[in-house]
Chain A
Amino acid sequence: MQLRLEVNGVPYETDDVWEGESLLYVLRERLGLWGSKNACEQGECGSCSVLLDGELVCSCLVAAGQAQGRHVVTVEGLGRDGRMSAVQEAFLEAGAVQCGFCTPGLVVATEDLLRHNPAPSDVEIREALAGNLCRCTGYEKVLDAVRAAAGTSR
């Protein structure tokens, strides 16, 4: 099938998409947007998190056809004018990045959290990021990063 969608404000059109492909596969293998990661293929790890018409989704669980005509924001689309977003800057500054495989998903999920709740409590942060697995950091500095990004650093 033919797929038209907008990613990070750029319109894309791609042919010969197999019906079984996920949005994640299209982003990575067809559009060359490697920022969204594939670690579990079943919506458990959050590494592939993107915003689909503003809604946080695991792109591995979205069929390519479901993205027809819709707007997708990936980690690559978060910064402006070649600069990092406040959330990206906070993750870097807090040392919340080790191997970095989970980082794009965590950054996208944090952007979504702060959009809905600009001053989350620790419990709200934990609940919002519970769908993003990280194996390196133990999440301590992830919490630091989110607090800093929210301006609620203690």
Chain B
Amino acid sequence: MSTLTGPTRESAGAGAHTCDGVGDDARRPDGAQKVAGRFAFSSDLWADGMVWGATVRSPHPRARLVSVDPSEALRLPGVHCVLTHEDVPGKKTFGLEVADQPVLAVGEVRYQGEAVALVAADSPETARRAVAAVRVEYQPLVAVVDPMEAMLPTAEKVHPSGNIVRHFKLRRGDPFGEAPVVVSGEYEVGMQDQAFLGPESGLAVPADDGGVDLQVATQWLHADRRQVAAALGLPEAKVRLALAGVGGAFGAREDVSLQIHLCLLALRTGRPVKMVYSREESFFGHVHRHPARLRYVHGAARDGRLVFVKAEMVFDGGAYMSSTRAVIGNAGTLSVGPYVVPNVSVDAYGLYTNNPPCGAMRGFGAVQACFAYEAQMDRLAEELGMHPVELRSLNAMSQGSLMPTGQVVDSPAPVADLLRRVAQAPLPPPGPTVADVATEGLLPGGMANTTHGEGVVRGTGYAVGFKNVGFSEGYDDYTTVRVVLAAGPDGPVATVHSAGCELGQGLVTVQAQIARSELGVREVVVETADTRVGSAGSSSASRQTYMTAGALREACGQLRAEMLARAAARLGVPEADLSWAHGEVLGPGGDVLGLPELLEPGPLERTVEWRHRPTQEVDPETGQGDAHVQYSFAAHRAVVDVDTELGLVKVVQIDTAQDVGKAINPGAVLGQIHGGTTQGLGLALMEEIQVEAGRVKNPSFTDYLIPTILDVPPMRVQVLELADPHAPYGLRGVGEAPTISSTPAIVAAVRAATGRRLPRVPLRPQDIVGLGEAAGGTDGADGAAGTGGRAGGAHDLTGGVPEPRGPGSGEGGAVP
């Protein structure tokens, strides 16, 4: 049901078509092992003499750490050691951007689940008992859990530097612009979990040189190594990491979880140490998607053209910084959506609180913004009497448009085309009849038969979103790849070695595809990702295929040049007379030299460190600057059936259109779009880490729901391939865009079915039937729409910090 459509299919660099090369539906090299249960994930590692590590965690969101008494735990047979912060030989803190998080708590714990002590024991069960036997004395402190209160100057400080991690300001045009049609609204996005299936796990082995070898599931080996080495007080050369099998990531493995702990235990015990988090511990062991509150005011001319957007966005980053600064940068720069807006005033705040730490998750800042701005676009369309697609298309950015940061969009931006494609896709047949219910179970409530069709209303919604690809705002973003081309017993073999992390997305496949196409070889070996080669950067931000493709293509090009030089010497002709095709060098007069002959003098090797084009830091007062490398665009149309009596939603169909620039592996691209769309569906309808007074209420897969195969509708995908001239092969990062617009499209469909404002995700049944708290929203309670007026009217957002709102104040609503 999915199609690839595109005006051109750029051929791979070398021109020749190679089986399982660039653009082919190549099979995963690890797929056969995975279907057979023989692929080694990080939780499947084992070593002789291995012991098990486990973590003592704080039950309090904020407390003074009075004492840790390990004596009872140490008396248990089979317990090898108990470690506290005093046993951290090097730097006591770590962090992705700023080292603000203790390796093991010192003096104070700042969130529920913070690591306080470590144990190592002979078995997982003994380790679990030892954790329970460590006596920790806490003096609970009043926790800072309301992000609005945390922003006040009078608030308790979570860290001495204050609670505002970043205040991003975006100013363009006239911030006090007037418009004849103004809509305002207030929105809220709950805390989503990445909920990868493979739990955090790894194996650390002490080495003879006093260092340590760590196998772990991660997104960024070198960032881990930097933080591990600092905490151990070792030079980086003595900390060697290799990627173990990764059971999904979605951002949650960009930060260090158990990496440092494993290595501390291994060096202390002198034995291999394995750790595997339980699902419950996993919920406390990694960062989540920032929950956010967003206020928007949109002003438009009567013809629908946007005049201004003003917004205030508050993101709760929790107890430690992680990547909050970058999340805020994305939220701010992408805050108005893929639209042309002449006047913009946006303030985006990232905060410290004593809530669970938040950082990277697929869509990273863009998800929260898109939920709000797309709801605003629908309200504006309603106010203007326009179709939602018509209003969006009228304002859609295109190549040559200016971002509100002043950056020129200098590659295809087919926003209107993507919307047109999903709008014109065939609609599903009308809702199931009573007769269908018995056999098909397709109504809201599914097999539970909670309705026979009465009270069920259908709705259709649209959304479009975008996301920056790669690391932005001046970050020195690079990837290293080493390629060896050598003669093998069955022909030439290319070996690709990088630290780029395969998470399931298919990086190993595209590495082999690119090497085949560029070098004309059939056999490619992709080595295990590890730190013997330079950093690949992070498998995040939709960047790894882009970056690895850039580095790998460059390395292969250098190898081809070297082979041309060899051929020129051998044939005694100038290099200029030679050409490369199909893995052979063609000379004048029909001479042909194949790879076997060219490799006779010995193997060739190249290591390339490749950078995408530079970006700039933005101006701190105006947010102006060329912050981004590239954008990725997707649009969704969702059709839903809603049981308006029970508040249950059945997504009937989702259509997606996405521009991927160039599909290196079309099947994998579709897999990314299906999976990303489904995670957006989860945020729309079911996924939320419920935090009450700083405590997580639902740390399990029984209570934190992710979509099952019954929740997911048929997904039709249209893929465009409009080459980005600045990117390798013209490709665009794929992974995040589909997650961004599926949430607002589904909620828009539910709004269309019910007539309710629904300003908060995930939607809860009580919101849909109108029994929710104020934020759950009945019409008119959560925003204002009207004609005429200035942006700074009843909903004045220009004053900076919003008013604090306590629970039950009747506006906005507290996190449940």
Which A positions have Cβ atoms within 8 angstroms of B? 18, 20, 28-29, 32-42, 44-45, 47, 74-76, 78-79, 84, 88-89, 91-93, 95, 97-104, 107, 123, 125-127, 129-143
Decide: A141 and B279 in contact? CB cutoff 8 A.
no
A76: chain B residues at CB < 8 Å are 36-38
B125: chain A residues at CB < 8 Å are 18, 20
Check: B135 CB closer than 8 A to any chain A CB.
no
Give Cα A13–Cα B802 distance, bound, in whole angstroms.
66
What 10 A-B pairs have minimum CB-CB distances, sorted nearest first?
A35-B37, A99-B504, A100-B34, A138-B674, A101-B247, A75-B37, A138-B678, A98-B504, A44-B701, A34-B44
Picked from A32, A39, A79, A130, the residue with its CB within 8 Å of the CB of B36 is: A79
Q: Given the known A-B contacts A95-B668, A127-B710, A143-B709, are A100 and B30 also in contact in the complex, defined by CB atoms under 8 Å? A: yes
Beyond A102-B197, A134-B709, 4 extra complex contacts between A and B, CB < 8 Å: A35-B37, A95-B668, A99-B196, A99-B198
A41: chain B residues at CB < 8 Å are 278-279
Q: Given the known A-B contacts A134-B197, A137-B674, are A42 and B701 also in contact in the complex, defined by CB atoms under 8 Å? A: yes
Decide: A42 and B702 in contact? CB cutoff 8 A.
yes
Decide: A130 and B710 in contact? CB cutoff 8 A.
yes
Give Cα A79–Cα B28 distance, bound, in whole angstroms.
19
Of residues 678 through 706 on chain B, the ones whose CB sits less than 8 Å from some CB of chain A are 678-679, 700-702, 706
Decide: B671 and A137 in contact? CB cutoff 8 A.
yes
Decide: B35 and A137 in contact? CB cutoff 8 A.
no
For the complex formed, measure the closest distance between the CB of B360 and the CB atoms of chain A, giving whole angstroms: 15
- Which residue of the partner chain A has the closest CB to B279? A40
Check: B27 CB closer than 8 A to any chain A CB.
yes
Interface of A is mostly: loop
Give Cα A131–Cα B702 distance, bound, in whole angstroms.
12
Q: Given the known A-B contacts A95-B671, A141-B674, are A101 and B715 also in contact in the complex, defined by CB atoms under 8 Å? A: no
Decide: B197 and A74 in contact? CB cutoff 8 A.
no
Q: Given the known A-B contacts A99-B247, A134-B197, are A141 and B671 also in contact in the complex, defined by CB atoms under 8 Å? A: yes
Q: Given the known A-B contacts A133-B708, A139-B678, are A97 and B38 also in contact in the complex, defined by CB atoms under 8 Å? A: no
Interface centre among B25, B505, B670, B709 (most CB of A within 10 A): B709
Check: B500 CB closer than 8 A to any chain A CB.
no
A74: chain B residues at CB < 8 Å are 37
Number of interface residues of B (CB under 8 A): 65
B440: chain A residues at CB < 8 Å are 123
Which B positions have Cβ atoms within 8 angstroms of A? 2, 25, 27-28, 30-32, 34-41, 43-44, 46, 124-125, 194-199, 245-250, 276, 278-279, 439-442, 447, 503-506, 667-668, 670-671, 674-679, 700-702, 706-710, 712, 714-715
For the complex formed, measure the closest distance between the CB of A15 and the CB atoms of chain B, giving whole angstroms: 14
For the complex formed, measure the closest distance between the CB of A60 and the CB atoms of chain B, giving whole angstroms: 10
Give Cα A138–Cα B713 distance, bound, in whole angstroms.
9
Give Cα A91–Cα B676 distance, bound, in whole angstroms.
20
Give Cα A42–Cα B698 distance, bound, in whole angstroms.
14
Q: Given the known A-B contacts A100-B504, A102-B197, are A136 and B248 also in contact in the complex, defined by CB atoms under 8 Å? A: yes
Give Cα A46–Cα B565 distance, bound, in whole angstroms.
56
B441: chain A residues at CB < 8 Å are 123, 127
Decide: B715 and A140 in contact? CB cutoff 8 A.
yes
B675: chain A residues at CB < 8 Å are 98, 135-138
Picked from A20, A34, A132, the residue with its CB within 8 Å of the CB of B709 is: A132
For the complex formed, measure the closest distance between the CB of B369 and the CB atoms of chain A, giving whole angstroms: 23
Decide: B37 and A98 in contact? CB cutoff 8 A.
no
Give Cα A91–Cα B37 distance, bound, in whole angstroms.
12
Give Cα A144–Cα B294 distance, bound, in whole angstroms.
40
Decide: A38 and B199 in contact? CB cutoff 8 A.
yes
Q: Given the known A-B contacts A39-B199, A99-B197, A136-B671, are A142 and B709 also in contact in the complex, defined by CB atoms under 8 Å? A: yes
15 A-B residue pairs with CB within 8 Å: A20-B125, A35-B37, A37-B197, A40-B279, A40-B700, A42-B279, A95-B25, A97-B34, A100-B39, A101-B248, A103-B35, A123-B442, A127-B441, A133-B701, A140-B714
